[in-house]
Amino acid sequence: MSTSNFFVTGATGFVGEAVVRELLAAGHQVLGLARSDAAAATLTNLGAEVHRGDLLNTESLAAGAHASDGVIHTAFIHDFSAFAASVATDQRAVETLVTALEGSGKPLVSTSGIALMAPGKMSIESEASLPEAFRAASERIVLAAADRGVRSSIVRLPPSVHGKGDHGFVPALIDIARRKGFSAYPAEGLRRWAAVHRFDAAKVYRLAVEKGVAGSRLHAVAEEGIPLKTIAETIGAELGIPVRSITSQEAAEHFEWLAHFVNIIDHPTSSTITRNALGWEPQGQPGLLEDMRENYF
């Protein structure tokens, strides 16, 4: 396989850094977006080239796209106090990347989430996200780019992308349980969180940018759905604290900023289409519960 030079946004983030490592290990070159000296140093140490800029600087995004053989977009401003602004910034960023690549036939692989789809049932790749979901507009922009001469695709990530350095939902649950002295789950704890190790997710991005079909939706999902009660029980066992069921009303206070996600996320998710299309199989990495026991406490 020939090698390429890919522009990666969010290149020093939890998922983005794994993508950079995966691309370099496969023999590709990487141009990584860096907004700080620390990020630039990290990329240099990894063996990637540095492109200074950020999501608010659309000129830097366009320049990075023009200088590459394709783009992987993993960056997002996770500021829940100004979330609408973060969503708007992401929309401008993906539109900038699409415009820069328009008519080139080059790949653009962007990031979306499993939680954008209807909850309570098995989700598959062919399903569109709920139109009102918070990043659905960005997803539509990227998928529509297939009609603008861009080999565009979406990688949907599950609620738990885990691994060393995780600072997402599961570490937040652990912190809350540790501070409050018990590990909780709402009602019967049957809401399900799909999961994937970040290094397995990184392989999906690489395969997508190498050979993904224009206009495709891909699921980077290794485990289809782990009940929240099981996650809470693992936390309780590892911390040596009680595990309790609480009401949805109690959850609103107990889980603090995470309460909204705990109460709505129930997204068992298939990745069968992705596995068949890309020849991807999660391998060599622990599942979520094993990873938690080994690395999260």
pLDDT per position as a tens digit, 128-167: 999 888 889 999 999 999 999 999 999 999 999 999 999 9
Nearest in space to 75 (alpha carbons), one of 58, 269, 66: 58
Q: How many CA atoms, within 13 angstroms, populate the side-chain half-sphere of residue 270? A: 10
- Which CATH number fits the domain that encloses residue 41? 3.40.50.720
CB proximity list for 31: less than 8 A, separation 6 or greater: 5, 6, 7, 8, 48, 49, 50, 51, 64, 67, 68
pLDDT per position as a tens digit, 210-227: 999 999 999 999 999 999
Q: How many CA atoms, within 13 angstroms, populate the side-chain half-sphere of residue 40? A: 8
In a domain, 53, yes or no: yes
In a domain, 78, yes or no: yes
Question: What tokens were used for 143?
Answer: 């998928």
In a domain, 227, yes or no: no
Calculate ∠ Cα 100-207-52, nearest 5°. 40
User: What pLDDT does residue 1 have?
Assistant: 54
pLDDT at 23 over 80: yes
pLDDT per position as a tens digit, 251-273: 999 999 999 889 889 999 999 99
Q: To the nearest 5 percent, what fractions of the chain are helix, strand and coil?
A: 45, 20, 35
Q: What is the pTM of this model?
A: 0.96
pLDDT at 9 over 60: yes
> In whole angstroms, what is the distance from residue 53 CA to residue 31 CA?
12
Q: How many C-beta atoms surround the C-beta of residue 122 within 10 A? A: 13
In a domain, 261, yes or no: no
Residue that has been written with the tokens 């861009």 in this structure: 150
User: What pLDDT does residue 3 have?
Assistant: 80
> In whole angstroms, what is the distance from residue 216 CA to residue 128 CA?
11
Task: Report the number of distinct structural domains present in the chain.
Answer: 1
In a domain, 226, yes or no: no
In a domain, 98, yes or no: yes
> In whole angstroms, what is the distance from residue 176 CA to residue 200 CA?
28
By three-state DSSP, how is residue 51 classified? strand
Specify whether the CB–CB gap between 90 and 74 falls below 8 A: no
In a domain, 65, yes or no: yes
Nearest in space to 55 (alpha carbons), one of 118, 26, 97, 6: 97
pLDDT at 81 over 80: no
- Tell me which residue range forms the domain holding 279: 5-159+196-221+269-283
pLDDT per position as a tens digit, 95-106: 999 999 999 999
> In whole angstroms, what is the distance from residue 180 CA to residue 177 CA?
5
